[in-house]
């Protein structure tokens, strides 16, 4: 929430940004305190070069006591105010040595099966915005549930049905994208280090970051995300010598990646069942549309015949009269 959850509305609270030292001290403290309430507690790896922080984000899973009561956590943290919007809970906690000010702690409660992916996918700030633009042309999508493969035949008509779930295991995804595991789970010292990491995937292709060919979502990121704009406007051009030397895809095609993913993740049977059901559905829909068109044409013809008969009858009556 960027530290703004308590800054507006009835009786707003002051939640000033935290310098790095206070942020890290409080993060360590909160991780320890929350471990009394949850079996799994972690914070995503922070974005590089951040000097101040608007809030503290922690992901939790497996409450030690059920049902889960956020009021107990609020008491343990000495929170002045709580906003509960399952699965996100925000707490306003007194700012150390700054009377009348508060720190915003956001806790995201997730299912056990989603915990590792949530921590992984939310790490390093804008990193997955950068990686997403590299993998998208090859039919891959990473969202809040995992890595997915898109079925080209279905994608244009139904994006949701086009997705085949591949995996939500972080290291498996890193290996598939050929990204260094050890490097990922450490803090990047600089933004350029993060940019270098993003460019190290085997799917990196400079052409994906040419503004003239960008999709609407990427153009939106350019307008709203400073790091993404810096990557596109400055970093990628600095690597691009005008040749394909800076590309890592080695001539890979979307179809090759599609086949590799189906085989590697054991999803071929699911794909064949999905495409078979999709084609049957489209065939039935086409048949229904054809039937409706035929009935519409038949009705139009009948209406025209009836109107012609009425006109002829009226004309005959006038002539007889």
Summarised one tens digit per residue, pLDDT across range 173-198 is: 999 999 999 999 999 999 999 999 99
Give the β-pairing of 102-109 and 56-63: parallel
For position 244, what pLDDT does the model report? 47
For residues 211 and 231, is the Cβ–Cβ distance under 8 A?
no
Tens digits of residue pLDDT in 81-124: 999 999 999 999 999 999 999 999 999 999 999 999 999 999 99
Confidence of residue 293 (pLDDT cuts 50, 70, 90): low
Is the model's pLDDT at 245 over the cut of 60? Answer: no
Q: Does the pLDDT value for residue 248 go beyond 60?
A: yes
- Cβ atoms of 47 and 54 closer than 8 Å: no
Model's pTM, two decimal places? 0.84
- My answer on whether omega of the bond before 67 falls inside 30° of 0, hence cis, is yes
């Amino acid at each position: 929430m960027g530290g703004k959850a308590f800054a507006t509305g009835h009786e707003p609270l002051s939640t000033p940004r935290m310098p790095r030292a206070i942020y890290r001290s409080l993060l360590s403290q909160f991780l320890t305190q929350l471990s009394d309430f949850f079996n799994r507690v972690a914070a995503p790896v922070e974005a590089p070069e951040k000097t101040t922080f608007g809030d503290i984000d922690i992901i939790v899973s497996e409450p030690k006591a059920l049902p889960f009561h956020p009021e107990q956590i609020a008491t343990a943290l000495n929170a002045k105010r709580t906003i509960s919007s399952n699965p996100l809970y925000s707490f306003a906690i007194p700012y150390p040595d700054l009377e009348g000010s508060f720190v915003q702690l956001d806790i995201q409660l997730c299912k056990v099966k989603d915990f590792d992916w949530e921590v992984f996918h939310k790490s390093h700030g804008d990193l997955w915005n950068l990686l997403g633009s590299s993998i998208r042309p090859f039919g891959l999508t990473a969202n809040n549930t995992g890595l997915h493969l898109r079925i080209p035949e279905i994608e244009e008509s139904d994006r949701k049905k086009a997705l085949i779930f591949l995996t939500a295991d972080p290291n498996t995804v890193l290996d598939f994208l050929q990204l260094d595991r050890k490097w990922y789970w450490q803090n990047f010292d600089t933004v350029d280090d993060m940019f270098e990491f993003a460019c190290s995937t085997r799917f990196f292709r400079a052409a994906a970051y040419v503004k003239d060919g960008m999709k609407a979502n990427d153009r939106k990121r350019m307008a709203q995300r400073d790091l993404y704009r810096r990557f596109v406007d400055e970093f990628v051009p600095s690597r691009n010598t005008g040749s394909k030397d800076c590309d890592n895809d080695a001539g890979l095609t979307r179809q090759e990646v599609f086949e590799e993913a189906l085989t590697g993740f054991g999803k071929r049977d699911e794909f064949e069942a999905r495409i078979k059901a999709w084609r049957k559905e489209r065939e039935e829909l086409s048949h229904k549309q054809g039937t409706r068109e035929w009935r519409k044409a038949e009705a139009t013809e009948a209406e025209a015949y009836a109107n012609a008969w009425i006109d002829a009858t009226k004309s005959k009556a006038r002539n007889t009269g």
